C-alpha cells in the first residue's frame, strides 16, 4: 500500500501499488521512447498566444481535468494477462490475483498511459480546437471567459466517451481564475499572469521533505513523486532556480535510491 495523500475529510488516502521493482520486472523493462510532459512555461506561452489572438480586452478563464485511475483505464491484451498476476498475504494466506488492466508500479503502465493521454490531447487540439496541455494524467487549458466552462465540458465528454463514464468525476473538473495547476496558483488579470506556489501544496511539500530528512532515507518511489511535484521550480517563469536544487536529489536517487540531499550521500 502507498499513502498518496489526505482526503477532504482528513483521512489518509491509500493506493495499492505492486512492487514491480523488487520482483525484478521493472529492471527487465527497457523503455523505447522518452516521455515528455507539457510544462508551466508552455502554459504561459499558450496564455500569451490566446491573449494576442483574441485581444487583451477579451478576458480568459482557465480549466483543468484530472483522470481517475488513469493507468487502470488501459486494458491489457488477453494474451498478456498471464504475465500480470500478483501474490500477496491476507491474514497469513497467500492470495493470487490477475490484472485485466495496467497495474500501478509498472514502468509499462506509465508508457502505455502516455500514449492514451497523448491521443486525448491530439483529438482535443486538432478536432475540438481546444489548446489542451497535459502533465501525465492532469489536463489543463484556457479559453474565453464566456466559453471556458463549455470547453471543459466538451473535453470531459471526449474522455468519458473514450475511457468510460467514470473516467472524470465532477469534482475533478475545475474552471476558475485563479486556478491551481500542477501545484501552482495561476492568476489572470488585465496586466498579465502571475504564478505562485499554492499555500496548501507548499505546506504539504515542506512536511514531506522534513519527514524524509528526519529518517535520512528516501525510496525510489518517494523521490520520483517529490521531484515531479517540485519540477515547477525548474521552469523559466521561476528563472529556473529549482534546477540547481533538484539536480542533487535526482542524481543521488539515480545512484543509490536512498538519501535525500547532496550533503547526505557521497554519490551526489
Buried b (16+ CB within 10 A) or exposed e, 201-210: beeebeeebe
CB 214 within 8 A of CB 228: no
Give the pLDDT confidence score for residue 253 in this predicted structure. Answer: 52
Give the pLDDT confidence score for residue 262 in this predicted structure. Answer: 36
pLDDT at 263 over 60: no
Contacts of 54 (CB under 8 A, 6+ apart): 60, 144
The pLDDT confidence band at residue 252, using thresholds 50, 70 and 90, is low
Name the pTM for this structure. 0.82
pLDDT at 204 over 50: yes
The beta strands (E) that lie in the chain are given as 2-6, 12-15, 60-66, 85-90, 93-98, 133-135, 138-144, 173-176, 179-181, 184-189, 192-197
pLDDT, one tens digit per residue, over 129-148 is 999 999 999 999 999 999 99
pLDDT, one tens digit per residue, over 52-73 is 999 888 899 999 999 999 999 9
pLDDT at 50 over 70: yes
Give the pLDDT confidence score for residue 5 in this predicted structure. Answer: 58
Give the pLDDT confidence score for residue 84 in this predicted structure. Answer: 85
Between residues 252 and 161, the one the model is more confident about: 161
Give the pLDDT confidence score for residue 248 in this predicted structure. Answer: 67
Give the pLDDT confidence score for residue 254 in this predicted structure. Answer: 56
Question: Any bridge partners for residue 95, and if so which?
Answer: 88
Give the pLDDT confidence score for residue 260 in this predicted structure. Answer: 38
pLDDT at 2 over 70: no
The pLDDT confidence band at residue 182, using thresholds 50, 70 and 90, is very high
Mean pLDDT of 93-100: 90
pLDDT at 51 over 80: yes
pLDDT at 181 over 90: yes
Mean pLDDT of the chain: 85
Between residues 256 and 263, the one the model is more confident about: 256
Amino acid at each position: 500500500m502507498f499513502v498518496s495523500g489526505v482526503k477532504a475529510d482528513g483521512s489518509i488516502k491509500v493506493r495499492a501499488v505492486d512492487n514491480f521493482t523488487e520482483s525484478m520486472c521493472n529492471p527487465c523493462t527497457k523503455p523505447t521512447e522518452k516521455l515528455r510532459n507539457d510544462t508551466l512555461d508552455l502554459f504561459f506561452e499558450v496564455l500569451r498566444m490566446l491573449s494576442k489572438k483574441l485581444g487583451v480586452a477579451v478576458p480568459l478563464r482557465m480549466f483543468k481535468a484530472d483522470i481517475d485511475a488513469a493507468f487502470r483505464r488501459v486494458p491489457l491484451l488477453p494474451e498478456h494477462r498471464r504475465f500480470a498476476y500478483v501474490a500477496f498475504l491476507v491474514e497469513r494466506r497467500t492470495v493470487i490475483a490477475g490484472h485485466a488492466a495496467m497495474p500501478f508500479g509498472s514502468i509499462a503502465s506509465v508508457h502505455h498511459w502516455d500514449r492514451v493521454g497523448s491521443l486525448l490531447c491530439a483529438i482535443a487540439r486538432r478536432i475540438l480546437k481546444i489548446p489542451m496541455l497535459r502533465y501525465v494524467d492532469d489536463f489543463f487549458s484556457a479559453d474565453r471567459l464566456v466559453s471556458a466552462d463549455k470547453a471543459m465540458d466538451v473535453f470531459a465528454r471526449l474522455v468519458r466517451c473514450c475511457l468510460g463514464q467514470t473516467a472524470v468525476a465532477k469534482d475533478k473538473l475545475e474552471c476558475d481564475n485563479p486556478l491551481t495547476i500542477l501545484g501552482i496558483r495561476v492568476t489572470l488579470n488585465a496586466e498579465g499572469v502571475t504564478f505562485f506556489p499554492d499555500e496548501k501544496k507548499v505546506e504539504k511539500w515542506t512536511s514531506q521533505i522534513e519527514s524524509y530528512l528526519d529518517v535520512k532515507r528516501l525510496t525510489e518511489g518517494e523521490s520520483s513523486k517529490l521531484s515531479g511535484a517540485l519540477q515547477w521550480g525548474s521552469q523559466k517563469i521561476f528563472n529556473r532556480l529549482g534546477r540547481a536544487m533538484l539536480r542533487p536529489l535526482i542524481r543521488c536517487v539515480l545512484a543509490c535510491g536512498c538519501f535525500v540531499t547532496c550533503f547526505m550521500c557521497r554519490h551526489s
